[in-house]
A = this chain, B = another copy of it.
Amino acid sequence: MKTTIKEVAKEAGVSISTVSRVLNGRDRVSRHTINRVREVIEKLQFQPDFVARTMIMKRTSTIGLIVPQLSNEYWALMSEVIQDELWARGYTTLICSTDNEPDKENAYLRMCSERRMDGVIYCSSPHYGLAAGEQIEALKTAGIPLVSLDPNIAGVSCVIGDHLQGTYIAVEHLIRLGYGRIAYIGGPAVSIEREFGYRKALMMHGYTVDESLIRVVQGQSFADGYEGLQSLRASGIAFDALFCGNDLLAFGAIKAMEEAGIRVPEDVAVVGYDDIFSARLFKPSLTTVRQPIQDIGQELVQLLLASLETEPERRTVRKIVIPTELIVRESSGSGQMKA
């Protein structure tokens, strides 16, 4: 049986309220009593019951974190950063990996309100966000503060990577190197903004966007990249550079080129997005756009905690955009002089 505050009180010869007071340290207790109680606590190995405490205090000191997939390096890192940050500020993080299943996401979101999370950080991708709309509303109704990585949820503060700018600098990098026929392979959802960045870069540099160089594929995986490139090749269109919506897509595309005898970067320069761990190891090492996960995570936490410490009526909705960084490696080549 666990030791309770009652036993401590009896053993120390004081009332439970006194024990509670030394536990919480806000009310004043005589030095002498404090010491005596502390001793007993030590001796009895007493640990206050967090659950009971929670019930009264009406706060769990726990934040729910919803991510699409823990086995995805990006989300794993994000989770770690957020957990560390929250831990440092006295919160426990309940990490929930939805595996991109809307049902699971709903269930987890629901759990967050049942279990009285103090707040929720929602990092699921917009693509799947639709199904969660109801639960998100439920959280809001329950008065649970929420921040998100998805800018498309009304009335919810968010922190986002600047995908448009990220893609812009990536494509601009290719343009500066002298490549003129830059193809694009991207997935759905968030990648939309990356496509815009691609278009913007071309336009700002006086190029016309050739729609036949653009491939919007089904998913975000290696296989999708492979297919995207097949499709590009099948159309017979010529290109000397390629921007991919993420690193995995880039790996897949490079694989397809390799099989077709196209050399990277000699024949086609490639740039990815995300800077996943393998990007450095891959051969050729991948030029890519790095998202400052650390910064994003910290901002999310700050935003949420700020919300927690503000009365509901005075809370404001913020949208914070974090700049990205281009990491130049081998795959984008050393440039190419136009004939």
Contact = CB atoms under 8 A, between A and B. Distances in A.
A80 B99 contact: yes
Interface residues on A, range: 35 or more
Nearest to A1: B143
B49 A51 contact: no
A47 B84 contact: no
A283 interface: yes
Contacts of A71: 73, 76-77, 80
A199 to B, nearest CB: 30
Contacts of A49: 114, 116
Interface in A254-300: 277-278, 281-283
Contact of A92 (B47, B73, B115): B115
Given A111-B92, A281-B278, A116 B50 contact: yes
Interface stretch (A20-28, A52-60, A313-321): A52-60
A77 B111 CA distance: 22
A97 interface: yes
A271 B285 CA distance: 22
Contact of A115 (B51, B87, B142): B51
A322 B60 CA distance: 38
A60 B31 CA distance: 36
6 contacts: A52-B55, A70-B70, A79-B97, A84-B97, A281-B281, A283-B283
Interface in A23-76: 45, 47-52, 54-55, 60, 69-71, 73, 76
Nearest to A143: B2
A18 interface: no
A99 B84 contact: yes
A324 interface: no
A113 interface: yes
Interface string A193-237: 000000000000000000000000000000000000000000000
Given A47-B114, A116-B50, A282-B281, A83 B55 contact: no
A251 interface: yes
Interface centre among A77, A80, A96, A99 (most CB of B within 10 A): A80
